[in-house]
């Protein structure tokens, strides 16, 4: 179960009338959203796609010790973040997945190749465009490594390409399609993430939980309105604040989702994150007493496994600290939204993913920008092409 509190700790910063006006715009925003040709992520994937994923997943488990996912941005953050939430901190015995393709660091690539030299692995290269430099370069390096280790036939078996139908990477074998009506950061329910997830999770359950999240459309719209209003009151930065280390990767996903969705045309809220209690000893100072441009969204977990020290349950203490911080920040002039999960479980996380996707898209429409493109990302890509000529 998820509870949302967008009012208790923001009310004093908002104008009731302006908020009512924004809430009244809902039918208009929903119409824009529903008539967009980029909302394929509201539908369940076809059974045929799930069967193919199941087949490939079994093959990977049979012939590989690990899967290397090669992708960047929306092409890896969904499954990466989900898996990081649920895998164990230590002695993790889940099927190993390495997320490569996010760096051009030679140190990293050398270490990666060294690690993979004596491993049996499969590559899942994921790129909707098929042209992203980091992805294609890492893919080339790892493919060459496969070619050194295996026969031509076996190399083919060990490469799975997830891309759009018309991309240059698309092939007849081991090909999973990213539908044209779903953009990278909205692709959680596509093979771009479902294949990697299928190695450790029941993806049918993930899909069912995700579909339940679509019922949060009203809450998502309200949250988008609150964010928009806070922005208009000069709160230009949103701090996503979590009190579980494993949610750090979820905040990476959130930053990418919101930054690429609404940071356009000289508008948009700048997302940041704090992983507490760690960051209470760094960014916490700025948030409490620095320039008042930040509002916060806390993801709070009500129940957890217990760990008792000196008769005190540490999770209760963690939540006590979180409440104390919300109070202190709020009194210090920082508006705070609270999203409360009864448990950190798969159902809540899948629902939260959809909630944030819906909110980000609504938010972009309220800013009057296109939620589903990222023209700014293309600027540096063009510069590279010029330099590499
Ligand atoms: O959300 C997005 O659309 C982007 O972050 C892309 O996922 C990212 O740029 C990678 O693009 P591609 O999948 O084409 O390699």
358 and 244 housed in the same domain: yes
**Ligand 1, atom 15: closest residue by C-alpha:** 127
Do residues 234 and 373 lie in contact, with contact meaning Cβ atoms separated by under 8 Å?
A: no
197 and 284 housed in the same domain: no
128 C-beta closer than 6 A to ligand 1: yes
Classify residue 381: in a domain, yes or no. no
Mean pLDDT score, 203-226: 98
192 and 285 housed in the same domain: no
Sign of CA dihedral 63, 66, 67, 70: negative
Q: How confident is the model at residue 379 (pLDDT cuts 50, 70, 90)?
A: confident
* pLDDT tens-place string over residues 295-316: 999 999 999 998 999 999 999 9
216 and 323 housed in the same domain: yes
259 and 141 housed in the same domain: no
**CATH classification of the domain holding 349:** 3.40.50.10490
Q: Is the pLDDT of residue 173 over 90?
A: no
Beta strands 121-127 and 336-343 are: unpaired
74 C-beta closer than 6 A to ligand 1: yes
Residues forming a β-bridge with 122: 67
pLDDT at 205: 98
Q: How confident is the model at residue 341 (pLDDT cuts 50, 70, 90)?
A: very high
Q: How confident is the model at residue 385 (pLDDT cuts 50, 70, 90)?
A: confident
Q: Is the pTM of this model over 0.95?
A: yes
Mean pLDDT score, 253-261: 98
> Considering 174, 201, 228, which residue would you say is the last residue of a domain?
201
Residues with Cβ < 8 Å from 78, sequence gap 6 or more?
A: 187, 188, 192, 193, 253, 353
284 vs 104: CA distance, rounded Å: 32
Residue 93 Cα, ligand 1 centroid: separation in angstroms?
30
Classify residue 30: in a domain, yes or no. yes
Q: How confident is the model at residue 389 (pLDDT cuts 50, 70, 90)?
A: confident
Q: How confident is the model at residue 339 (pLDDT cuts 50, 70, 90)?
A: very high
Six token digits for residue 294: 């930040």
* pLDDT tens-place string over residues 62-100: 999 999 999 999 999 999 999 999 999 999 999 999 999
Domain that holds residue 224: 2-35+209-376
* pLDDT tens-place string over residues 219-231: 999 999 999 999 9
238 and 224 housed in the same domain: yes
Mean pLDDT score, 35-40: 98
Q: Is the pLDDT of residue 331 over 80?
A: yes
Contacts of the segment 325-328: beta carbons below 8 A, 24+ positions apart: 325/241, 325/276, 325/280, 325/284, 326/9, 326/296, 326/298, 328/288
Question: Does residue 281 carry a catalytic annotation?
Answer: yes
Index of the ligand 1 atom closest to the CA of residue 186: 1
279 vs 336: CA distance, rounded Å: 17
Six token digits for residue 88: 């164990």
Rama region for 134: left / alpha / beta (φ>0; ψ in -120 to 50; rest) = alpha
Residue 131 Cα, ligand 1 centroid: separation in angstroms?
10
pLDDT at 387: 82
188 and 334 housed in the same domain: no
The residue assigned the tokens 């000893």 is 281
Classify residue 107: in a domain, yes or no. yes
**Ligand 1, atom 2: closest residue by C-alpha:** 184
pLDDT at 78: 98
236 vs 231: CA distance, rounded Å: 5
314 vs 322: CA distance, rounded Å: 12
Q: Which of 238, 244, 260, 322 is catalytic?
A: 260
Q: Is the pLDDT of residue 152 over 90?
A: yes
Classify residue 386: in a domain, yes or no. no
Share the mean pLDDT of the chain: 96
302 and 259 housed in the same domain: yes
Classify residue 296: in a domain, yes or no. yes
Domains held by the chain: number: 2
> Considering 152, 175, 201, which residue would you say is the last residue of a domain?
201
Classify residue 48: in a domain, yes or no. yes
Residue 127 Cα, ligand 1 centroid: separation in angstroms?
7
Question: Does residue 381 carry a catalytic annotation?
Answer: yes
* Residue among 38, 69, 75 whose CB has most ligand 1 atoms within 8 A, to mutate: 75
Mean pLDDT score, 247-253: 98
11 and 92 housed in the same domain: no
251 C-beta closer than 6 A to ligand 1: no
* pLDDT tens-place string over residues 157-167: 999 999 999 99
Question: Does residue 260 carry a catalytic annotation?
Answer: yes
Taking the CB of residue 178, how many other CB atoms lie within 10 A of it?
26
Mean pLDDT score, 110-124: 98
135 C-beta closer than 6 A to ligand 1: yes
45 C-beta closer than 6 A to ligand 1: no
222 and 195 housed in the same domain: no
Residue 146 Cα, ligand 1 centroid: separation in angstroms?
25
335 C-beta closer than 6 A to ligand 1: no
129 C-beta closer than 6 A to ligand 1: yes
Do residues 269 and 262 lie in contact, with contact meaning Cβ atoms separated by under 8 Å?
A: yes
Classify residue 76: in a domain, yes or no. yes
pLDDT at 211: 98
Q: Which of 16, 281, 387, 389 is catalytic?
A: 281
- HSE-CB at 96 with a 13 A cutoff on CA atoms is 13
363 and 305 housed in the same domain: yes
Mean pLDDT score, 264-293: 98
213 and 351 housed in the same domain: yes
Host H or E run for residue 273? strand 270-275
Classify residue 117: in a domain, yes or no. yes
77 vs 71: CA distance, rounded Å: 9
158 C-beta closer than 6 A to ligand 1: no
101 C-beta closer than 6 A to ligand 1: no
152 vs 222: CA distance, rounded Å: 54
Six token digits for residue 252: 């990476």
> Considering 166, 201, 236, which residue would you say is the last residue of a domain?
201
Q: How confident is the model at residue 383 (pLDDT cuts 50, 70, 90)?
A: confident
Q: Annotate 153-175 with b (16+ C-beta within 10 A) or e (fewer).
A: eebebbbbbbbbeebebbeeebb
Q: Tell me which residue of 168, 171, 204 sits closest to 57, measured CA to CA.
A: 204
What dihedral angle (degrees, nearest 10) is formed by the CA atoms of 163, 252, 365, 2? 110
Q: H-type helices in the chain, by residue range?
A: 16-24, 26-34, 47-63, 77-86, 106-116, 133-149, 152-157, 191-198, 203-213, 217-232, 248-262, 283-289, 314-331, 346-366, 375-388
* Residue among 79, 100, 129, 165 whose CB has most ligand 1 atoms within 8 A, to mutate: 129
């Amino acid at each position: 179960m998820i509870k949302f509190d967008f009012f208790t700790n923001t009310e004093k910063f908002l104008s009731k009338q302006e908020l009512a006006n924004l809430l009244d715009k809902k039918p208009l925003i929903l119409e824009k959203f529903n008539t967009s040709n980029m909302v394929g992520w509201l539908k369940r994937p076809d059974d045929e796609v799930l069967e193919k994923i199941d087949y490939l997943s079994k093959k990977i488990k049979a012939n590989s010790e690990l899967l290397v996912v090669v992708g960047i941005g929306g092409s890896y953050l969904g499954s990466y973040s989900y898996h990081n939430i649920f895998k164990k901190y230590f002695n993790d015995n889940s099927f190993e997945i390495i997320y490569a393709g996010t760096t051009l660091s030679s140190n990293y690539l050398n270490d990666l190749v060294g690690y993979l030299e004596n491993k049996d692995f499969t590559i899942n290269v994921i790129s909707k465009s098929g042209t992203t430099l980091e992805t294609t370069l890492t893919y080339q390096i790892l493919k060459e490594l496969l070619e050194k280790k295996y026969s031509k036939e076996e190399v083919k078996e060990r490469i799975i390409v997830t891309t759009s139908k018309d991309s240059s990477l698309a092939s007849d074998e081991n090909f999973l399609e990213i539908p044209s009506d779903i953009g990278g950061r909205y692709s959680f329910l596509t093979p771009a993430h479902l294949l990697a997830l299928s190695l450790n999770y029941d993806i049918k359950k993930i899909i069912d939980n995700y579909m339940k999240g679509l019922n949060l459309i009203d809450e998502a719209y309200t949250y988008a309105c609150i964010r928009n209003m806070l922005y208009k009151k000069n709160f230009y930065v949103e701090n996503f604040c979590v009190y579980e280390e494993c949610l750090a990767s979820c905040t990476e996903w959130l930053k990418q989702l919101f930054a690429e969705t609404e940071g356009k045309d000289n508008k948009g809220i700048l997302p940041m994150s704090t992983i507490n209690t760690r960051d209470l000893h760094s960014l916490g100072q700025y948030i409490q007493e620095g320039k008042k441009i930040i509002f916060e969204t806390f993801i709070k977990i009500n129940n957890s496994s217990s760990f008792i020290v000196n008769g005190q349950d540490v999770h209760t203490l963690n939540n006590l600290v979180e409440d104390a911080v919300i109070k202190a920040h709020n009194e210090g002039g920082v508006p705070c939204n609270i999203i409360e999960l009864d448990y950190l479980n798969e159902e809540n996380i899948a629902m939260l993913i959809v909630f944030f996707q819906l909110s980000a898209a609504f938010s972009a429409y309220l800013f009057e920008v296109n939620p589903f493109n990222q023209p700014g990302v293309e600027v540096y890509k063009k510069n590279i092409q010029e330099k590499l000529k």
